[in-house]
Structure 1
Amino acid sequence: MSGGASRGATTVKLFDAHCHLQDPRIFSVATQIIRKAQETGVVKFAVNGVSEKDWHLVKHMSEQHPCVIPCFGLHPWYVLERSPNWLSVMKEFFSAVPGAAVGEIGLDKGSHGKKIDFMDQVQVFRQQLKLAKELERPVSVHCVRAFGDLLEILQSEGPFPAGLILHSYLGSAEMVPGFAKHGAYFSFSGYLTSMKPQKAKKMLKMVPTDRILLESDAPDGLPQLKGCSLSCVPGDASIPQEQPVHSGTTNIDSKGTLNHPANISTVLGYVATLLEMPEDELAQVSYRNAMHLFSYPGSKISEEAALL
């Protein structure tokens, strides 16, 4: 295991605050992915379950890999597939895995989410927010085109002293203070590169430094920056056969290409540029923030975080 990535004369550690290593597109090569990401400095992975069938995989992965922080949640896309006793089943997972956080849960009015009744999404979301508060665990939140609704729900269900993560945040700069007031951390992935740079910069400047997180959202969230060198997922069919995917990096431009957690370093560089902050400093800040957030009682990293 690598102790961190070297940037100049400094060795830094990165914490992937939100990813899906149990995703069937990459699960068979998850161990290889973790190993490669560790070599680039990514030493912790918050792996989020999104459906009931995922929870077993996330639990197993966290048992196999000490670097994995398990998270159990019911994503808004899967609320129609939930079993009648889904909440009781989720509680059983938390009892069996006391070091788990809550996620991924949330609201979605996007092209996919609009197929699911929004009130049904809200009901399931509120139930899981209540559970996160009862367990005193942080919660990772998915939100697409529903930030106003999200803020209203947080106002009625909050406060959230254990914290919550607005993962892959692409909301407005104006909404940042309202979310921060309710304990929100703002996690940035490769999706940030889809925003106009000036809009992204304005929003980033509003985020308190002690609330910044970085994530890959792998296997999605591939950074879309022209000419940047990115790590490939082994066996990714979208990569032309003549390109040596086993070498670890290649120039990728395809939106269909799977994302690798190692590409969080590209996100780090992009966010640091927009914030006009040294990469080493941002890496240290984001790592410390994530360690603090995920060091709740029972967490597998609580003792390690106490030393920071």
Structure 2
Amino acid sequence: MLIDTHAHLNALQYEEDVEEVIDRARLEGVEKMVVVGFDRPTIKRAIELADQYEFIYATIGWHPVDAIDMTEEDLHWIEELTAHPKVVAIGEMGLDYYWDKSPKDIQKEVFRKQIALAKKVKLPIVIHNRDATADIVEILKEENAAEVGGIMHCFTGSFEVAKQCMDMNFYISFGGPVTFKNAKQPKEVAKQIPLDRLLIETDCPYLTPHPFRGKRNEPSYVKYIAEQLAELKEVTFDEIAQKTSDNALKIFDIN
């Protein structure tokens, strides 16, 4: 059993063939998928997919790149939607200093508001980080995010940062980049993450793993990430599949 903990099956790239993509994932042993909504259209679609398929779950939040667009009404709407039985986390949220659409102070404010919401509704959080590691760790500490914990999505940082996050009740999730031939740091870090803190994801349609790099990603490819982690950690594929699935069921509180 494999669980893709972060998929964007709600993206326009799947408009024509989402059913076939989901079927391929199931054939490859992907028993559950978590679809991530990060603005109004993608949140609506994530919940539609969760309603349509018993094995699909949704996380809902506001992406830092679009933080400038988020209103109090949006935040209230997200809070209302957390009552849905298949909404399993808040996010993706965080900071993104690569794109400059939303000023840093607004990103931070929206990030803090979403952490507060997660604590209020008692759901874990899914963290997006691009070029903002120090500020993210600082905010997680200041806002006592350890109370709900969560996932460091598509982690590419150092082991020191991973350890700080694990100490705050976070899981470390690896995606396609850990399979890239030149990905020295992610591979070294993955070796050091304890099995009981490890997750796998595709972030599809982005960050497609080797050997399909450059093509559209999809949940069936999560097995390549599991294979890479098994090799790096010198354990069997089945052990990685089992542990990462157990971890996903635990953090998302899926029975």
TM-score by length of 2: 0.94
Q: Give the one of 74, 77, 82 matched to 1:86.
A: 74
Deviates more, 1:149-158 or 1:205-214: 205-214
Segments of 5+ residues of structure 1 without an aligned counterpart are: 1-12, 229-251, 296-300, 303-308
Does 1:164 find its partner at 2:114?
Answer: no
Shift of 1:294: 1.2
Does 1:155 find its partner at 2:141?
Answer: yes
Does 1:58 find its partner at 2:16?
Answer: no
Looking at structure 1, the residues matched to 182 and 60 of structure 2 have their Cα atoms a distance apart, in angstroms, of 33
Q: Give the one of 225, 230, 233 matched to 1:272.
A: 230
Q: Give the one of 75, 93, 109 matched to 1:123.
A: 109
Does 1:18 find its partner at 2:9?
Answer: no
Looking at structure 2, the residues matched to 194 and 80 of structure 1 have their Cα atoms a distance apart, in angstroms, of 33
What is the DSSP-based 3-state SS (H/G/I as helix, E as strand, rest coil) of the residue aligned with 1:85? helix
Tell me the C-alpha RMSD between the 2 structures: 1.6
Looking at structure 1, the residues matched to 58 and 76 of structure 2 have their Cα atoms a distance apart, in angstroms, of 18
Shift of 1:205: 2.8
Q: Give the one of 249, 258, 261 matched to 2:219.
A: 261
Segments of 5+ residues of structure 2 without an aligned counterpart are: none
Looking at structure 2, the residues matched to 267 and 194 of structure 1 have their Cα atoms a distance apart, in angstroms, of 10
- Name the aligned partner's letter for residue 277 of structure 1: V
What is the DSSP-based 3-state SS (H/G/I as helix, E as strand, rest coil) of the residue aligned with 1:174? helix
Structure ID, larger Rg: 1
- CA shift digits 1:56-106 (9 cap, x unpaired): 1111111101111111100011222224521111112223x1431211111
Looking at structure 2, the residues matched to 98 and 84 of structure 1 have their Cα atoms a distance apart, in angstroms, of 23
- CA shift digits 1:128-182 (9 cap, x unpaired): 0111111111111100111111110111111434321001000111212111110
Looking at structure 2, the residues matched to 125 and 194 of structure 1 have their Cα atoms a distance apart, in angstroms, of 30
Q: Give the one of 57, 61, 68 matched to 1:73.
A: 61
Q: Assess if the C-alpha contact under 8 Å between 1:133 and 1:160 holds in 2.
A: no
Q: Give the one of 138, 144, 161 matched to 2:130.
A: 144
What is the DSSP-based 3-state SS (H/G/I as helix, E as strand, rest coil) of the residue aligned with 2:6? strand
Per the alignment, residue 178 of structure 2 pairs with 192
Per the alignment, residue 92 of structure 2 pairs with 104
Shift of 1:28: 3.3
Shift of 1:50: 1.0
What is the DSSP-based 3-state SS (H/G/I as helix, E as strand, rest coil) of the residue aligned with 1:115? coil
Q: Assess if the C-alpha contact under 8 Å between 2:115 and 2:143 holds in 1.
A: yes
Looking at structure 2, the residues matched to 195 and 212 of structure 1 have their Cα atoms a distance apart, in angstroms, of 21
What is the DSSP-based 3-state SS (H/G/I as helix, E as strand, rest coil) of the residue aligned with 1:292? helix
Looking at structure 2, the residues matched to 84 and 137 of structure 1 have their Cα atoms a distance apart, in angstroms, of 19
Shift of 1:29: 1.8
- CA shift digits 1:248-277 (9 cap, x unpaired): xxxx45x2x210110001111112112222
Q: Assess if the C-alpha contact under 8 Å between 1:210 and 1:285 holds in 2.
A: yes
- Name the aligned partner's letter for residue 147 of structure 1: T
Looking at structure 2, the residues matched to 178 and 195 of structure 1 have their Cα atoms a distance apart, in angstroms, of 27
Does 1:132 find its partner at 2:125?
Answer: no
Sequence identity of aligned pairs in percent?
Answer: 30
Shift of 1:193: 3.1
Per the alignment, residue 241 of structure 1 pairs with none
Q: Which has the higher helix share?
A: 2
Does 1:38 find its partner at 2:26?
Answer: yes
Does 1:48 find its partner at 2:36?
Answer: yes
Relative to structure 1, is the Cα distance of residues 27 and 137 closer, same or farther in structure 2, using a 3 angstrom cutoff?
farther
Per the alignment, residue 298 of structure 1 pairs with none
Relative to structure 1, is the Cα distance of residues 265 and 60 closer, same or farther in structure 2, using a 3 angstrom cutoff?
same
